[in-house]
Amino acid sequence: MAITKYGDISPRTAAYAAAEMLKRAQPYLVLQQFAQTKPIPANATQTVKFRRYEALALATTPIVEGVTPTGKTLTHIDVPTSLSQFGDFITLTDVIKDTHEDAIFKETQMLIGEQAAQTVETLLFNVLKAGTSVVYANGELRTDVNTVVDLGDIRTATRTLKRQNARYLTKRMGSTAAFNSESIAPGFIGFIHPDIEPALRNIAGYKDVVDYGSMTPFEFEVGAIEDVRFIRSTVFENWADSGDAVAGLNVESTTGTNADVYPIIIISADAFATVPLKGNNAITPMVLNPGIPREGDPMGQRGYVSWKTYWAGLILNQNWMVRIETAAPNQAGLAV
């Protein structure tokens, strides 16, 4: 039996399915919008190399008349990483196909698009939350944290970035499935879990997105504090019970004993990179329809809808991103 790349659907149908998957996936790709990206064409390589050119030393010595100065040589740092393959599938039976009143295959196609996006977003978040530049809301270790983030923590993080000559982000990846970019208002970007949003709203100087005026907010953007715009996602999970004791404190705790510690990741331009879930080669959908006898399933009782993709993500410069580790207010601590 001949097996094609896309199973029982044609390449043309597969292309449509991939576009639909990516369309459904876009709202979940929060981090990817602000990464340095490098799409990998098919049949190319399993190794990705990102390159950063080093700043030139200043030319502070006066030039002598008639004497050619030494000049400078370009130097760069290559940051390589390897692609890994990820994917999953859903099994459907011939009974579902024959009796279910909904367009189950189309809905399944959409669901695995969401799963693919949340998978790569979580993988990228796991890379970023392991960064080495950290500000603690209190104390010197994660196990000390039981205090909610304040303006001083955010200013410490942005000052750290500025002292490393980190640049504002001025563009992001477009919000369509196509591989393109669009200009944005300059600033740093902060990523938060929804549990942190009330704490930000309680900080003096917080600016809600409804007060942005002519500046268009990103999807899931909650507001800005000074030069940081914050975007929320449930992907940015906490470290449960990893902080200090919460007795008498109005902060979130999974068991009621120690504070849950939440990461707030603040980035500048070119802080991290990824192979994007975009473009023609981003995701491969495959469908094997039930009702077709095949090896191992002589009665054609089972079918499958699946996806696979290649992915890589890495931090390019540890000095250009900062993680604030903080507690989150619980219900009692939400009042201004």
The answer to whether position 161 is within a domain reads: yes
Residue 251 backbone phi and psi in degrees, to 5 = -130, 160
The answer to whether position 288 is within a domain reads: yes
* C-alpha pair distances (Å), 317 with each of 8, 71, 118, 204, 231: 44, 27, 24, 31, 21
Structure token pair of residue 245: 């004791």
25 & 172 share domain: no
The answer to whether position 65 is within a domain reads: no
Strand partners, 304: 91, 288
Most confident of 10-24, 39-53, 73-87, 213-227: 213-227
The answer to whether position 250 is within a domain reads: yes
The answer to whether position 62 is within a domain reads: no
The answer to whether position 58 is within a domain reads: no
164 & 296 share domain: no
What is the reported pLDDT for 244? 97
Q: What is the pLDDT of residues 291-321, one digit of tens each?
A: 788 888 888 888 888 888 888 899 999 999 9
Indicate the pairing of strand 76-82 with strand 207-208: unpaired
Average pLDDT rounded to a whole number, residues 203-225: 91
Structure token pair of residue 189: 């970007």
323 & 193 share domain: yes
Q: What is the pLDDT of residues 123-156, one digit of tens each?
A: 999 999 999 999 999 999 999 999 999 999 999 9
Structure token pair of residue 163: 């002292």
Distance CA 136, CA 149 (A): 9
pLDDT higher than 80, residue 53: no
185 & 327 share domain: yes
Q: What is the pLDDT of residues 217-244, one digit of tens each?
A: 888 999 999 999 999 999 999 999 999 9
183 & 329 share domain: yes
186 & 200 share domain: yes
162 & 181 share domain: yes
Distance CA 192, CA 150 (A): 14
What is the reported pLDDT for 192? 97
Domain extent at residue 226: 133-271+317-333
The answer to whether position 68 is within a domain reads: no
264 & 304 share domain: no
205 & 280 share domain: no
321 & 172 share domain: yes
39 & 107 share domain: yes
Domain count along the chain: 2
CATH number at residue 26: 3.30.2400
pTM, whole model, 2 decimals? 0.80
pLDDT higher than 70, residue 288: yes
Going by pLDDT thresholds of 50, 70 and 90, the confidence category of residue 81 is confident
The answer to whether position 166 is within a domain reads: yes
* C-alpha pair distances (Å), 18 with each of 7, 40, 281: 14, 16, 9
85 & 161 share domain: no
